Amino acid sequence: MNHLELQQTIIDNYKLGVSYYRTLYEKGGVCIFLQEGLRYVKIDMENYCKDKDFEVCAIKIYLNTKCACIIAIYRAPTGNFELFISKSDTILRKLYTATTEYIICGDININYLVDSDRKVQLEALLKTCNLTSVVNFPSRTHKLSATTIDNIFIDISKMGNYSICPIINGLSDHDAQSITLHSFNQRPPPKKYMLIRKIKEHTINDFLNKLSCESWDTIFCRDDVNKMFNSFLDSYLKIFYSSFPLKRIHVNKKINN
């Protein structure tokens, strides 16, 4: 698929966010489509791409207070594996920050259903960012063989609440993989608050000290009892509110913290 064909590809409620398409060879390439309305930033990966060996595109999306970096990668079966590992290491070093969640996906042509030196090397690299494979079913079935060469890698210590399944769509000899990250709910639950006054030893002492320093002369010099009481109450409450101000807390937060 060339640049023009990719631009003309339409998926309802989605738009093309970022892509890399080959210039020297046919087929291959990678792209990321985003649901309309999502806030995102493109990440320029053009200088790291090399046809067949390492084809990559990346994007950052923002959901509420969370930030996720999605990296889509393709490596051809005949691609240079050492170059693939080297470039993967380079971009992970470039992009990694402790406050960002990372999702790497794509066709890397390393079969995760069997142990191999290439699988060990890739796992060792991804572990430096605490990323783990989560695709545990075949992604390509051909005659009598079944392989998992398409994969998704996430940090399960942060995004352990997920579900994943294959999607057999008949458009390719590879099945698609669908992952739902339940901890990335776009709409956070409504926050509930309550107002409290923290009455503790130090706030009580502050209150008593302010009462002792208050001059009551202007109150007791009045002849009208009602005006005298209202003046006293105003002064008293002003001191009370300053020593025990209202604090807004979440309802699931312990009041005695």
Residue 206 maps to a domain: yes
Indicate if 174 and 218 belong to the same structural domain: no
Residue whose C-alpha is closest to residue 156's, from 122, 191, 126, 117: 126
Q: Would you say residue 146 lies in a domain?
A: yes
Residues 169 and 229 in one domain: no
Co-location of 144 and 74 in the same domain: yes
Confirm whether 211 is domain-assigned.
yes
Handedness of CA 175, 78, 88, 29 (dihedral sign): negative
Q: Are residues 22 and 148 in the same domain?
A: yes
Give whole-number Cα distances, 41 to 34, 60, 100, 144, in Å.
11, 5, 13, 43
Q: How many domains does the chain have?
A: 2
Residue 255 lies in a domain: no
Contacts of residue 29, Cβ cutoff 8 Å, sequence gap at least 6: 1, 6, 19, 20, 21, 22, 55, 74
pLDDT per residue over 16-67, tens digit each? Answer: 999 998 877 877 889 999 999 999 999 999 999 999 999 999 999 998 778 9
pTM, 2 dp = 0.70
One domain for residues 166 and 107 = yes
Mean pLDDT within 245-255? 66
Structural domain includes residue 145: yes
Res 257: pLDDT? 47
Asked if residue 187 has pLDDT above 60, the reply is: no
Residue 15 maps to which CATH number?
A: 3.60.10.10
In which domain, by residue range, is 246 found? 193-250
- Contact 21/2 with Cβ under 8 angstroms? yes
pLDDT-derived band at 177 (thresholds 50, 70, 90) equals very high
pLDDT of 253 > 60? The answer is no
Residues 137 and 212 in one domain: no
CA 70 to chain CA mean position, Å:
10
Please check whether residues 49 and 93 belong to one and the same domain.
Answer: yes
Whether 255 shows a pLDDT value over 50: the answer reads no
Helices 225-243 and 201-213 meet at what angle, rounded to 10? Answer: 140
**Ranked by mean pLDDT, which of 113-122, 171-180, 187-196, 214-223 comes out on top?**
113-122
Confidence of residue 1 (pLDDT cuts 50, 70, 90): low
For residues 203 and 93, membership in a common domain is answered with no
Q: Please identify, among 131, 155, 184, the residue that sits at the C-terminal boundary of a domain.
A: 184
69 domain-assigned = yes
The yes-or-no verdict on residue 87 having pLDDT over 60 is yes
- Cα(235)–Cα(218) distance, integer angstroms: 11
